[in-house]
Structure 1
Amino acid sequence: MTELYSSTPSAPTRRTTLRAAGGGTLLLGLGLAGCRSAVSEAEAPAGKAGAGPRRGGTLTVAVNTDFTPSLLFAQSGQSLQQRLIYNTLTRYDDRLRPQPELATSWEYVEGGRSVTLKLREGVTYHDGRPFTADDVIFAVKNLQNPLRAAQLRATAAAVTGFEKRGDHELVLKLAHPVNNLFDLFEFMVITDRHSVEDAVSGKRLNGTGPFELTKWSPGAGLSLTRNEKYWQPGRPYLDGVEIRVVPQADALLSSLRSGQSQLSFSVPGKNLAVVKSTPGLAVSEYSTGGGAYYLGVNTTVAPLHDKTVRQALAWGIDRERILKQVLGGYGLASATPWPKSSPAFTEAGRTHYTYDPGKARELLRSAGHTRLDLPLLHVNLPGETAVAEAVQYDLKQIGVQVTLQPTDPATAQKHLIAQTMPGLWTMGHGFAQVQPSTLAVSAYPFNEAKNTSRFRSAAYTKVVRDAWTGPATGAAANALRQRITDTLLDEAFIIDLVIRGSVQVSAAKLRGVTLNKFSYLNLDDAHLVD
Structure 2
Amino acid sequence: MTESRPSTPLTPTRRTTLRAAGGGALLLGLGLTGCRSAVSEPETPAGKAGAEARRGGTLTVAINSDFTPSLLFAQSGQSLQHRLIYNTLTRYDDQLKPQPELATSWEYAQDGRSITLKLRTGVTYHDGRPFTADDVIFAVKNLQNPLRAAQLRATAAAVTGFDKRGDHELVLKLAHPVNNLFDLFEFMILTDRNSVEDAVTGKKLNGTGPFRLTKWSPGTGLSFTRHEKYWQPDRPYLDAVEFRVVPQADALLSSLRTGQSQLSFGVPGKNLPVIASTPELAISQYTTGGGAYYLGVNTTVAPLNDKTVRQALAWGIDRERILKQVLGGYGLASATPWPKSSPAFSEAGRTHYTYDPGKARELLKSAGHPKLDLPLLHINLPGDTAVAEAIQYDLKQIGVQVTLQPTDPATAQKNLISQSMPGLWTMSHSFAQVQPSTLAVSAYPFNEAKNTSRFRSAAYTKVVREAWTTPETGARANALRQQITDTLLDEAFIIDLVIRGAVQVASKKLHGVTLNKFAYLNLDNAYLAG
TM-score range, shorter chain: over 0.9
- Contact 1:322–1:390 (CA under 8 A) maintained in structure 2: yes
- Report the Cα distance in structure 2 between the residues aligned to 1:215 and 1:265, rounded to whole angstroms: 22
Match of 1:455 in 2: 455
- 2:42 aligns with 25
Q: Equivalent residue for 1:371?
A: 371
Q: Any idea what the Cα deviations from partners look like across 1:273-311, whole Å, max 9, x if unmatched?
A: 100110100000113211000000000000000000000
Q: Secondary structure at the residue paired with 2:340?
A: coil
Question: How far apart are residue 476 of structure 1 and its match?
Answer: 1.0
1:33-52 superposed matches below 5 A: none
State the match for 2:134 in structure 1: 134
Deviation at 1:8?
3.6
The partner residue of 2:31 within 4, 9, 13 is 13
Indicate the residue corresponding to 1:356 in structure 2. Answer: 356
Q: Give the AA of the match of 2:125.
A: Y
The 1:75/1:50 distance shift into structure 2, 3 A limit, reads: closer
**Aligned-partner Cα distance in 2 for 1:139–1:48:** 35
Identity of aligned residues (%): 84
Q: Secondary structure at the match of 1:478?
A: helix
Query: For each residue in 1:456-513, what CA deviation from the matched residue of structure 2 results, as whole angstroms up to 9, or x when unmatched?
Result: 0000000000000111111111110010000000000000000001000000000000
Q: CA deviation at 1:53?
A: 5.2
Instruction: Please give the residue correspondences for 1:219-230 in structure 2 after superposition, counting only pairs within 5 Å.
Output: 219-230=219-230
Instruction: Check conservation: 2:25, 2:473, Cα contact below 8 A.
Output: no
Indicate the larger mover: 469-478 or 110-119: 469-478
Cα separation, 2, equivalents of 1:226 and 1:49: 19
Listed as ranges, the matches of 1:415-426 within 5 Å are 415-426=415-426
Counting only pairs closer than 5 Å after superposition, residues 141-290 of structure 1 correspond to structure 2 as: 141-290=141-290
In 2, Cα distance between equivalents of 1:9 and 1:195: 36
Amino acid at match of 2:35: T
**Other structure's SS at 1:16 match:** coil
Q: Following TM superposition, by how much is the alpha carbon of 1:72 offset from its aligned partner in structure 2, in angstroms?
A: 0.2
Give yes or no for contact 1:8–1:97 (8 Å, CA) kept in 2: yes
Aligned to 1:40: none
Partners of 1:9 and 1:16 within 8 A in 2: no
Deviates more, 1:287-296 or 1:313-322: 287-296
Deviation of 1:59 after TM superposition, in Å, equals 0.2
- 1:302 corresponds in structure 2 to 302
Measured in 1, the distance between the counterparts of 2:243 and 2:257 equals 17
TM-superposed deviation, 1:52: 7.4
- 2:53 and 2:473 mapped to 1: Cα distance? 40
Q: Name 2:517's counterpart in structure 1.
A: 517
Q: Give the alignment's TM-score, normalised by structure 2.
A: 0.94
In structure 2, what is the Cα distance between the partners aligned to 1:449 and 1:7?
Answer: 24
- Provide the C-alpha distance between the structure 1 equivalents of 2:475 and 2:238, rounded to a whole number of angstroms: 47
AA in 1 matched with 2:36? T
Check whether the contact 2:288–2:516 (CA below 8 A) recurs between aligned residues: no
Match of residue 313 from structure 1: 313
Counterpart of 1:38 in structure 2 is: none
Q: 2:12: which partner in 1?
A: none
Q: Is the contact between residue 293 and residue 428 of structure 1 (CA under 8 Å) also seen in structure 2?
A: yes
Aligned residue in 2 for 1:322:
322
Q: Is the 8 A contact 2:25 2:342 kept in 1?
A: no
* Runs of 5+ consecutive residues of structure 1 not aligned to the other structure: 28-45
- Report the CA distance shift for 1:8/1:327 in structure 2 as closer, same or farther (over 3 A): closer
| 2:25–2:435 Cα contact (<8 Å) kept | no
Q: Which amino acid aligns with 2:286?
A: Y
- Whole-angstrom distance in 1 between the partners of 2:52 and 2:408: 43
Provide the rounded CA distance (Å) in 2 between the counterparts of 1:75 and 1:274: 30
1:251 is aligned with what amino acid?
A
For 1:434, the aligned partner's letter is: V
Q: Is the 8 A contact 2:25 2:343 kept in 1?
A: no
Q: Would the aligned equivalents of 2:29 and 2:35 in 1 still touch at CA under 8 Å? A: no
Task: Give the match for residue 434 of structure 1.
Answer: 434
Partner Cα distance (1:391, 1:184) in 2: 34
